[in-house]
Structure formats: structure tokens, C-alpha cells
Structure 1
Amino acid sequence: MSDRTWKLLLAGSFVFNVFLLGGIAGGAYQWFATHDNVAKAPQQRTALRFATDGLSSERQKQFLDGLKEARRDGKDYAREGREGRHEVLALLAAPQFDRTALDAALQRTRAADIALRTEVEDSVANFATTLTPDERVKFAEGLKQAGNWREPPPAPPKEKRPANQ
């Protein structure tokens, strides 16, 4: 090989290595920048158990105990709802579609889901009866942030498009 060939190979190798190092450095920067933001981002606390965050630790424990009891009491309803959803999926995938059986399975699933929700909502209402008026206000604010009563985040404003002429 001539000197010119060696020089071209060396220059090509140099350019390739610089390209590789730049890609590795850019990827590392992106990875660390993304993971750093994820680690610093506050956790979304939207589960119902976080609705009492503004109350004392004793009240929080009281609420969690009531919630656990309601869910324990509604365990059979949760199982029925799961089984009903599996049955609905099986009926939908069946080669012969049976609308009557599907409607019945949907009704059983819906009834189980409503019964479970009723247990949990009764637990929330029972807990609210033990609160002082100030605590109830804090609890209501907590429910706006967590659980089934939480308010959706505000929608971003829509951009106005110019009318087509």
C-alpha cells in the first residue's frame, strides 16, 4: 500500500471515530438529561388513598383503615367483576355471537362494579361524617386531586386557525 492509501485510511478512521464519539456523547447526554428530569418530576398522587394528605396522620390512618375494610368487604364483587369481564371477552371472541349471553354477562359485570364502588363510596362518606367542618373542606380539596372525584387537568388552549379564503 502506498503512503497516500495509508493517509486516506487514517483520515477515514479518524473521521469515523470522531463520529462515533459524538454519537456516544450525544446519546449519553440525552439519557442523563431525560432520566434526571424523570427522577426530579413529582410523582402523581391520584389514588384515592392520597385524598387525606392535608389531614393529620391519625386521620389518614383512619381513612386508610376504612378504605382497606371497604375493599376487603368488596373482594367478592371485585372477583365477580373480573370474571364477568373475562366472560365478556370470551363471548366476544366466540365463533357464534350470542347477544343475549353477552348482555347478561355485561349486566352481571356492571352490577358487581357498582356494588364495589358503592362499598368504597360508603366508606368515604362514613369517614367524612367523623370530620370537623375544616377537615371536611381539606378532605374535599384532597378528593379534587385524588380518587374518582378528581378534577381533570385544564385543557390546553386551542390554537385559532385563520379562516380559509
Structure 2
Amino acid sequence: MTTKLRIGLIASIILNLFLAGVLVAGYASLRTGDRMLNAGSLRIAGAELPAAERRPFRRALREARRAMRPTAVASRAAKAEAARLLRRTPVDQAAIAVALDRARTADFAVRAAVERRAVAFAAGLPAEDRAKLAAAMERRAGRIAPAAE
């Protein structure tokens, strides 16, 4: 098998895996109505709050995400750049890694901003409501298998 054929085959496999992930995410989006797909565990945990607190909590998270919209757009642009680079021959692995690093950094920045806003909101809640939120977060964390050491 020639080197060009191998590179093409590897690139095709990677692209197909990426596309399969997109299809799964699209299916999940259709099933959930796209309301909670990117909500994160804090928003889901916020469902445990009383109705009077739930709406302002979700509004605070939505405002934090809105404020970070340029960063989220930068993340999507970096991912799109990585996809474009993956199509090129020869594959520049270093450039793809740099683009994905930028996307990851932006994703973490958005998540950190939303989490900081959630903590600031939760700090003003009565102790009973904070306990409900904490319990819901613990339940969500329990669903994630711990990393093998």
C-alpha cells in the first residue's frame, strides 16, 4: 500500500468518526429539542431548586453563556479550521493540534465563566436551596465513572 493511500485512508477514517459524532449529536439534539444538550450539569442540577429560584438561576447561566458568545464562536472557528486542515494532504498534525488546543481553551473558558456565575448565584441562596443544588450536583457526579488510576 502506498504512503499516499495510507494517509488518505487514515484521514478518511478520522473524518468518518468525526461525522459519526456529528450525527449522534444531531440525533440527541432532535430528541431533546436542543434545550438541554449543552446545558451542563449545573443547569440540570438547578432543576432541583424551587420554581422561584429556578428561573433566575437559569437566566443567570444563560446570561453568562451569552456574555461568552464570542469565545464560543472562536471555539467553533478553531474546530472548523482543524477540520479544514484535516482535509489537506499532507496532514499537518501539529497545526491541527494547535487549532484543537485553541478550541479546547475557549471551551474551558466558557465553562469556567458559567460555573463562576452559578457559584455567585448559589452563594445568595438560602442554605436549604444550596443543599438541594449540591445534592443534585453530587448525583450527577456519581453518574460519571471515576478515571482508572
TM-score, normalised to structure 2, is 0.62
RMSD over aligned Cα atoms: 2.3
- 1:74 corresponds in structure 2 to 68
- 1:152 corresponds in structure 2 to 143
Cα shift readout 1:62-121 (whole Å, capped 9, x = no counterpart): 101101101101111111111111111221221122233223212211111111111111
- 2:122 corresponds in structure 1 to 128
The structure with the largest alpha-carbon Rg is 1
- 2:99 corresponds in structure 1 to 105
The CA deviation at 1:142 is 2.0
TM-score, normalised to structure 1, is 0.57
- Asked if 1:63 corresponds to 2:26, the answer is no
**C-alpha distance in structure 2 between counterparts of 1:68 and 1:153, whole Å:** 24
Identity, in percent, stands at 32
- Which structure 2 residues correspond to residues 18-33 of structure 1 after superposition, within 5 A? none
**C-alpha distance in structure 2 between counterparts of 1:53 and 1:107, whole Å:** 33
**C-alpha distance in structure 2 between counterparts of 1:119 and 1:153, whole Å:** 22
The CA deviation at 1:153 is 6.8
What count of residue pairs does the alignment treat as equivalent?
107
Q: Which has the higher contact order (CA 8 A, sep 6+)?
A: 1
The CA deviation at 1:150 is 3.4
- Asked if 1:114 corresponds to 2:105, the answer is no
User: Which residues of structure 2 form unaligned runs of 5+?
Assistant: 1-35
One-letter code aligned to 2:96:
L
